[in-house]
Chains A and B, each alone.
Chain A
Amino acid sequence: MSNNLLAIYDSIISKQSFVEIQQCNEETLEYGLKLSEEDIKDVIDTRSEALSSSGRVEFGGGIIKKIISAFCDSSYISQYHYAETLNDLIETFYYYKNETIERVSDDELIEVMKDYFNHKCQGSMELLKYKYLDGMASNIRFGVKDYLKVDDCEELEEEEE
């Protein structure tokens, strides 16, 4: 019964998300970015799949909107691959919510992703996921206080070698 109810909830959130994302287009148009209805459906599906594959359930929604707002001004995102990047970012977000064992809030994770993406990764999703976010997640799991320092750990390892 509880599972059914959670599924109902997910469908309600998905419906709300559609309108929310449509409204985001007004904000992103300033940066030359726009999602078509088809793109929006894709993004919503990605969110549902990402939640399900990471074994999570979302209450209140609003994450897609936050990700769009945070990344729309990135110089590494163009209309050409906007939808694709957005889908990737959503998947990455939920994956690392689990990997960071709930120690990082939604806002902090989005902020960190944005910072890495725009600076150290220079728009590379691969670097963002497999180097920086992985490094950060592993720092968190091993109790490293300054878990955002991913480069430094690697440099230290190289120096030791």
Chain B
Amino acid sequence: MDNYIINREENLKGLLSEEHYFQSLLQVLYSNELLNKMELEKIQIQVLDMLTEKITYYTKDESSSVRVELAEQIMLSIYYIIGIFMKSIPSIKESIAVLKGKSLRDIFKQGEEMIKEKVEKCKKLFKQVQVNKLETTNYAYVDTIDYGFSMFFIDYDIRFASHIAPCSIDYQLSDGDIKMTGVEYIEAYLNILRLENSFCSCFDMIEIEGLLRNFNRNSQHMLINIYEFVLTNYLGVILIEKRGRSLNITKKERAYLKGRIKNLSELELEKLFMLSSETLFKELSIEDEELMKYINKAILKLIPGIKNAIETNTLENTFITINTAEDNIIKYQDGESLDDSKFKSITEEIRACSKIEDKMKIIRDELHSLQDLVDVLGADCIFDEEFIYIFKGLEDFELALLLKYLPSNESMDSDYGTESEKEWHEKLKEYLGTLDDLKKDEIMSISEGIEI
């Protein structure tokens, strides 16, 4: 009988929300008659007392009323702090004893201490993430680590908004479904990012960048998860029984891989992948249990996508070939840009010219960098057919460089840029359309071989 009661209570744990832990705990306990109405009201009155006190602090005792949104926010913050402590209690039975035996104010104080500890832990985790940051060009990744978290450590407000994490996180994790808020969210995110970084750092960064570039030339601007790409390709490498730490899968190897897995059911794939993950851990000398668990979870998540890629014959987008020809790309070193005042006076000079020949002369004589040329084109000083004249006067290499500034259809929407930028983009496309195919292809191929 006792066992039955314990089990019944512990089963309720599954009903509790990670995000609104304390509120859900009260609801579950009350609806299952583990907390009676009087006990619930006693708790609610204690919450209201704390809320009144917090509001008094907030308004510096100058205002007895506040906006409802603010009162709700502060109340959620109180619930969050109490919830943090309650989460640390292992069983529902003990939770009930604590709620009935302890004052809510004491629980709150302990919760506050736990949050402070978590913030310190997050600081340490963030330092680790910064140290192990991947040398990638993916904008969301770099921006999230360089700027996204700094806000949190400055603005996190334990007193009045502990459930809100002020941060700007764009980079998506492989397992990004974090059902938590406040400092708990930051802790969970940083912990996962640390694991992902730790896995990716087993591989050559140049190869990882090549892998992402081969997935999509604009991958640096895309909201992708680097770890998933690396893991998928390396799993492919393991499946074709290659050894070493190279991520590359050639066309032939992919064909072999396809033959190996195409007729397997999801269950068989799962078995095979789990066996391969063991090899993967050995090959990369991974011993961190947390990381192993995370990798296995991600591998299982890959199965439906791989199944689908086999069916739709698009396995080349899943197991990617790293094209070494990409390495022969010329990296364009731009000339020195003009300072702002000089640039302004030149654009004004161009704007004042009535003849396009004079405009072209100023561009030729005064501009010595691609960036300045691009800025001039988008600075409302060249109009309509004048663009075509300017493009005619440019060398093929210069046109190829300008082509790099056109938004690609795949990753950028057509509304990218200001109106004047869109105008020169359109005019450049129009000009290219007037060229013969041979000349056009030549310019395109030069453009493909340049990286700016």
Interface residues of A (CB under 8 A from B): 1-3, 5-6, 8-9, 12, 51, 55-63, 94, 97-98, 102, 105-107
Contacts and interface: CB of A to CB of B under 8 A. Distances in A.
B225 interface: no
Nearest to B74: A2
Contact of A106 (B44, B55, B62): B62
Given A1-B23, A2-B75, A57 B65 contact: yes
Interface string B1-35: 00000000000000000000001001100000000
B367 interface: no
Contacts of A59: 51-52, 55-56, 64-66, 71
A129 B26 CA distance: 45
A106 B63 CA distance: 5
Given A55-B67, A106-B62, A6 B56 contact: no
B68 interface: yes
Nearest to A51: B65
A6 B71 contact: yes
B69 interface: yes
B72 interface: yes
B48 interface: yes
B363 interface: no
24 contacts: A1-B26, A2-B75, A5-B44, A5-B48, A5-B75, A6-B71, A6-B75, A8-B48, A9-B48, A9-B51, A55-B68, A56-B68, A57-B67, A57-B71, A58-B64, A58-B65, A59-B51, A59-B71, A60-B56, A60-B64, A97-B65, A105-B62, A106-B63, A106-B64
A119 to B, nearest CB: 24
Q: Which 4 A-B pairs have the closest CB atoms?
A: A105-B62, A58-B65, A59-B52, A2-B75
Interface of B: 23, 26-27, 44, 47-48, 51-52, 55-56, 59, 62-69, 71-72, 75-76, 79
Given A5-B44, A8-B44, A9-B48, A57 B66 contact: yes
A6 B69 contact: no
A51 B55 CA distance: 16
Nearest to A13: B64
B52 A60 contact: yes
Given A60-B52, A94-B65, 4 more contacts: A5-B47, A55-B67, A59-B64, A59-B71
Contacts of A63: 64-65
Contacts of B64: 58-63, 106
A98 B69 CA distance: 13
A3 B71 CA distance: 9
Which DSSP category, helix, strand, loop or mixed, fits chain A's interface? Answer: helix
Contacts of B65: 51, 56-59, 63, 94, 97, 106
B18 to A, nearest CB: 16
Contacts of A97: 63, 65
Contacts of B56: 59-60
Contact of A98 (B62, B67, B72): B67
A56 B48 contact: no
A97 B65 CA distance: 9
B63 A6 contact: no
Q: Which residue among A1, A3, A94, A98 has the maximum number of chain B CB atoms within 10 Å of its CB?
A: A1
Contacts of B76: 2
B35 to A, nearest CB: 14
Nearest to A102: B63
A12 B41 CA distance: 13
A6 B70 CA distance: 12
B75 A56 contact: no
Nearest to A108: B62
A51 B68 CA distance: 9
A105 to B, nearest CB: 3
A60 B62 CA distance: 12
Contacts of B23: 1
B113 to A, nearest CB: 24
A50 to B, nearest CB: 10
A94 to B, nearest CB: 7
Q: Which residue among A62, A106, A107 has the maximum number of chain B CB atoms within 10 Å of its CB?
A: A106
A3 B48 contact: no
Q: Which residue among A51, A59, A105 has the maximum number of chain B CB atoms within 10 Å of its CB?
A: A59
Nearest to B52: A59
B79 to A, nearest CB: 8
B59 to A, nearest CB: 8
A3 to B, nearest CB: 7
Given A2-B76, A5-B44, A56 B62 contact: no
Contacts of B55: 59
B381 to A, nearest CB: 38
A12 to B, nearest CB: 8
